[in-house]
Amino acid sequence: MGQERYSARLRPETRGDLYDPSYEHEACGIGLVAHINGRRSHDLVKQALDALVHMTHRGGIGAEQDSGDGAGILTQIPDAYFRKVCQPLGILLPRPGEYGVGMLFLPQNNERRERVEAEFAKIVTQSDQRFLGWRDVPVRTEHLGASALAAMPRIRQAFIAKNARVEDELSFERALYVIRKRAETRLRDPDPADFYACSLSCRTIVYKGMLLAPQLEELYPDLRDLDYDSALALVHSRFSTNTFPSWERAHPNRCLVHNGEINTIKGNVQRMRARQQHITTDVFGVPIADVLPIIREDGSDSAMFDNCLEFLTLTGRSLAHSAMMMIPAPWEKYREMPPSLRAFYEFHSHIMAAWDGPAAIAFTDGVSIGAMLDRNGLRPARYVVTLDDMVILTSEAGALEVPASNIRLQDRLQPGRMVMIDTSAGRFYADAEIKNAIASQQPYRAWIDRLKLDVDALPLDGAPPAMNCKLPLKTVQRAFGYTYEQCEKLLRPMAETGQEAVGSMGADSPLAVLSDAPQLLYDYFHHQFAQVTNPPIDAIREEIVTSLRVYIGPEGDLLHPSPLCCKQIRLHSPIISQKRMRGLAALDNDGLRAAILPIVYKAANGGVGLRAALVNLQKAAEDAFNRGCSILILSDRDADSDHAAIPALLAVTCVQRHTVQEGMRTRLSILLDSAEPREVHHIALLVGYGVTAICPYAALETVSDMAGEGFLKKNGKPIDPEDAEKNYVHALEKGLLKMLSKMGISAVQSYRGAQPFEAVGLGPEIIDRYFPGTPSRLGGLTLDELARETGARHSAAFAPGSDEARGLPSGGVYQYRRDGEPHLLNPESIHLLQQACWNADPELFKQYAKSVDEGESITLRSLFRFKDANPIPLDEVEPVESIVKRFKTGAMSYGSISQEAHECMAIAMNRLGGKSNTGEGGEDETRFLDERCSAIKQVASGRFGVTSGYLVSAREIQIKMAQGAKPGEGGQLPGAKVSPSIAKTRHSTPGVGLISPPPHHDIYSIED
């Protein structure tokens, strides 16, 4: 991939391996430097670049030490400098603010570049603006790494003069936005690499690239010129976790820099895509279609966030207002929040769900500049205001040295808080001042109170007959795959205690795709966890930032806020009772009209019938919407001996995707009335793929029936059926909150449609059509096979002899049962293992290993087979005694496993000559002097003289111990080798010193 193949700059497309382009997140260093009074200077630009260099450790470095993940700077347009360099080119610039500059990445191939440039100039002319000319941006590439250089675009600047009829600077910004959007549509086809605008503005310009922080001003001599000045700057050093670096994905974006991850990005983007067909505005002076799509979905999560923030700002809201909409503070449970500000956030929750995830952002429109943290505050950001009116905000203190005598104020951004600087007014705004001013612009509380509805206020009578059960409970349970084990081990504890059952980690029963028993569609999905830089939320101790609130009904108009935006029904959580579902089904008034859509198909028709039913379901949803229905209730109560239920998750995604594609999704809510869901995992999947509210009617009736029969007790006393249902719903709600929190997501409204799952064992027919964007690396089931699994459960429920007295299948997933699922650890394998260990019998251990390795296919690993090949002679193979010396155990902290297991692994690795890892926090010092000592230590700062930023060997600790050193004592041992950690790698762990003994040095860097 050389310069001819410019698309190397873009992240790779899905290649059929384990990589997928949707894994684009980042964890970076951000910085903001501004002069409060708007005084422009080159010194400010230099300070911003210095701050960036001092955050080099926050940027990623690949295998080449001179190729980085990305670095960049955004400044105001340096008018004096551009006048100086443009005059020799014959480009005569109008007054400041009356010309725009595009910083463009173009093809290196001259023929393609000339075609793109000619078309771009034509677009400018067609947009009634005047194209002034091109400038080659001087670059010095001798310091670039080979990868960065091979992917480097041709970098040119386009100068555009404002049409005299354009009234003001904001109108010109909008005209330039239209030009850019038209160019993106026309010039990125067929190759998206042909055109990328880092910026196109009359206020700001961006210099960036696939660089290390120190390489930025080395590559761009423009930035070192003394005439290059600005009153504000944003800088960014990129660390792209789980991603491929590229020139485009370097920050700044057009109006922000971002450190963090948007974990709800799929849902946010889907909702914006659905809104587009209904958006109306004349602020751009062109048909709205000319600026669509609002979000370029081939961008990173940061770039897509930037797309939305830019659009909201250009359509009339202030920058701070737009940022508050997208990253709201935790308003629902924060009682100290001013009522007007609470009303602001509540009102905007009706029209936009939060873009949720750990985030620190700094943003600017070229006049105002600010920064904010998300509601959890899991990203660092400290700022200083100086006596000479400078504001410096960076990812950590000390990125720029400021004399103490010049500091007026220093602080850190707190969770959900914001700071703003208005350079035109010469004002620095703290959080309360800017937010209270914005919250008072409209009577939000009056708007909410005028039309708000609560589900508890709805009448409960008048439900249509379709909401009544037609089958006995036992028949429903068998038809939907309930087992005795699920009722006893899952539903009973939830109904008795209001908590999920506690179980051990791990599973040794087959994956759904490898099981011989019919599986629910939910079983093919696995919830994703918070990734490298994204710590999960403690949903118990950080309850103030969490929310289960959802709204039913059409979302408000994004660009025209009014009281009508609040005409929605508020639910306290997505789990509702049968009474509430009946009340919702009876709604029939303007704006809130419900339609019940049966989700069943003729069971005898198999996959053909299932496909036809899904097509009919989409048509029924569209017809209901056209009749004025804004609440679609998908119900499987029509299931009977002839009709099987469409898997509820499949029905939901079928309607979700169709309504998004047709632009209906934000005008309606999808509710589910189903016997199928009963576990927290089921509820999380349904919400994660678009459901607003769920009534798990069979599960509710099951726990009610168990209570009525006297099977449920608390403190020895029977539980009332109504209390059993309430406990069960509470357990589901608490479990759903747990699922959100481990992805770093705070609010279920944002989690809805976010699709934080991956599939194992579903083929392209199902994934591509109904679950697009969901990773499914291995392929698998078709709709025909899914219909066969559904049909097997249905046949078992309605087969002759399936009367009410017949019990449920045993299950055997959580505990081995003879007639249940097979297990890797079954009575036979456990017996063999015990006997092998008790008798030190290698032959028995081989039998145990064979029973696990060659038994039934339960794991993906069990499917792997070695290809036939010519064996390598053993005398050419390294002996096993040498190989095992490279073995290492993972960093499992004491507490994650038992003391016995932790020490057993350390002893085993020491005897083999390999290495064990203590995990964070280190180990008990009594282990240091015997074979329980772990070779790789993660020791908290200050223990045994180990300070953050230094690497020390375990042998040194042993010497210190022998000399009487105690935990927490500092000081250096004479002659001890203590090396400052300067290698910043992707294994860095903030605040933790990691030590390893010679001769096997595992060098991991640490950060202060």
Active site residues: 28
What Rg value do the Cα atoms of the chain yield, rounded? Answer: 31
Distance of alpha carbon 454 from the chain centroid: 30
Rounded Cα distance between 649 and 482, Å, is 17
Rounded Cα distance between 129 and 162, Å, is 6
Rounded Cα distance between 722 and 707, Å, is 9
Sheet strands (E) in 325-398 = 359-364, 368-373, 382-386, 390-394
Q: How many Cβ atoms are within 10 Å of 803's Cβ, its own excluded?
A: 9
Q: Contact, 755 vs 267, CB < 8 A?
A: yes
DSSP state letter for 162: P
Distance of alpha carbon 50 from the chain centroid: 31
Closest CA to 270 of 656, 693, 572: 656
Distance of alpha carbon 474 from the chain centroid: 40
Rounded Cα distance between 981 and 333, Å, is 43
646 is written with which tokens? 């469409």
Alpha helices in 748-858 (DSSP H): 748-751, 764-770, 783-798, 827-839, 842-853
CB burial string 922-958: b at 16+ within 10 A, e below:
bbeeebbeeebbbbbbbbeeebbbbeeebbbbbebbe
Environment class of 296 (CB within 10 Å of its CB; exposed 0-12, middle 13-18, buried 19+)? middle
Rounded Cα distance between 654 and 497, Å, is 35
Q: Contact, 271 vs 690, CB < 8 A?
A: no
Closest CA to 665 of 630, 689, 620, 624: 630
Q: Assign 732 to helix, strand or coil.
A: helix
DSSP state letter for 891: -
Longest dimension (CA), the chain: 94
How far is the first Cα of the chain from the last one, in angstroms, to the nearest whole number? 39
Alpha helices in 206-300 (DSSP H): 215-219, 265-275
